[in-house]
Each structure stands twice: as structure tokens, then as C-alpha cells.
Amino acid sequence: MRDRKILITGGAGFIGSHMVAKLHEENDVTVFDNLSTGNYEFIKNYKVKFINRDITNFEDIKSAMKDIDLVFHFAANPDVRKGEKDSNVDLKQNVMGTFNVLESMRLNDVEDIIFSSSSTVYGEAPIPTREDFGPLEPISFYGASKLAGEAYISSFSHIFGIKGISFRFANVIGPRGTHGVIYDFINKLKRNNNELEILGDGTQSKSYLYIDDCISGMVYLFEKDTKKYDEFNLGTEELTNVMDIAKIVVKTMGLKNVKFRTTGGIEGRGWKGDIKTMLLSIEKAKSFGWKPKYSSSEAVELAAKNLVEELLWK
């Protein structure tokens, strides 16, 4: 991908900043981020224009969309658990924010959008879960908001001719991560290296995708796919459970004799809305010639090493 005029919403965040790193040298990149969860330090050394604004402000995002021809839309509330305490946050940031992005694209004749969706749109589905599984019944407000975002992109695509792809991610992990199980475990062990609290019963099993594979998958599949609107799963073909992740983090931090304490939770889940087992089918992406470089366990080991190096110095 080169010589594009690209707007990256949430471009100072975890996934967004890695996309900036990939694209900034051969494209004209603008980052739009309110820095609520993003970090300007992640992008300060890249050749980009930075706009410190919020996608929930329509006039701000409409103004930023001038002279843009491609949008990577990452800006969102990233914390699935936050919706349990604030049932409005995903509606405001993820649904209305996405509508503002799309309407701004329409008014500025922007042709293409790549959307970071989520495996949570499926709810509790048979595994491995294919893109054509249905009906989709998310069990969290976060999942509901991502599904609504996909529906709006599909609608704008069919009515106004915008090309859109929604990428349904497995658990994306790696350097610059700011939330998630590995991040949480490291911070808990920094506070108390004798005991580690594990939400749920530790048997929750999910697919983990290394950030480099996530970035390469989005760019590759966008350039290969010719449909006006499409969805792709991005993940790995293996499961890693939470207890194994805890052991990997403890080993990576060089700790010994750490006591694991599980909270049990509802049916062994970490929180309300937590999907206990998630594995996406990536056969569709593979049919286009993409597959991840790292397995789920390899991704966890790499990400643990990355985050231990980053977080132990904070």
C-alpha cells in the first residue's frame, strides 16, 4: 500500500500505532486520536499529521476527512468489561463514533474504510467460527457495538458506494498493549509477586493473534479483496487457556513459587459478557493467501516478553 492519503482513527492506540508504523513512510498519514487510551509517545517519531480530537464530535471528524481517500477506523472503547459499569460508553464511542466517521466520509467523498471489528460479534458460537455463522448474538455491549458498526459500514457501502472491510479479530497482543490478560497479569505481579489473581476459573480458552500478523492481514486482504463490502476473521488456529498464559507470564518475569488464585466467576468466566471459548475459522483469509506467522502460544510468549520489557520499567 503506497501513495494513499490515509486517516487512522485511534492511531495513537495499540493496533493503530502499529498500522502507522507500517504505512507512514510510503503514504500521507493523518492520525486522529483523543488520547483517552492512546499514547502520543507511540507515534511521535513517525512522519504523520496528528489531530488531537474525538470521533464523537462530528464537526471535528468531518473536518479531518478532507483530502482523505482511505480510513482505518480503530477508535473505540477498547475495554469489553467497561460496559458492565457504563452501559452507554459503547453506544456513544463505538456506534455513534462509527456513524460520524462514515457520514464524514460520505460528505467528503472518501471511498474506502477498514474497520477493526471483533470476535465478540459472534457471541457464543460453535468453533471454529466462520464468517457466515448466524444469527450473530453478542453477549456484551462491546460486541453489540462492533456488530452495529459492521452493519452501518455495510449499509453505507451498498447505498453510497463506499468500499468497506470489517476485520473480526481474535485477541490481538504484542508491544504497546494497554489492556488484556497479559497486561493485567504483569501489573498484578508487579504489585504482588507472591500471588496472582486470575479472573474466572483459568480454563477460558481463546485464540491469540500477534500484532504483526494482525497488521499484515488487514493490509494484504484489503488489497486482494475486490468485493464492495466484506468481512474477514483474523486469528490463529489454536487455543491458549488463561492458566497457561499465567504460567508463561510468571516464567517470563523470572518469578518462582507464585500462588495462583482463581475467582471462579459466573460459569468460570472472567466477567459478565466474557466468552469462555473463542476460536475463529481463518479459512476464508487463507483462501486469499494469508496466514499468521505465529501460533497462538507463540504470540502469547512473544507478547509476554514485549510487555514485561515495557511495563517493568514503568
- Characterize 237-247 residue by residue with b for buried, 16 or more Cβ atoms within 10 angstroms of its Cβ, and e for exposed: bebbbbbebbe
Q: Is 208 a catalytic residue?
A: no
List strand residue ranges (DSSP E) for the chain, in order: 5-9, 28-32, 49-51, 70-73, 112-116, 163-169, 171-173, 195-198, 205-206, 208-210, 229-234, 240-241, 259-262, 277-278
Catalytic residue of the set 46, 122, 142, 152: 142
Using CA atoms, how far apart are residues 95 and 69, in angstroms rounded to an integer? 22
Nearest residue to 174 via CA among 309, 35, 313: 309
C-alpha triplet 54, 56, 61: angle, nearest 5°: 65
Catalytic center residues: 142
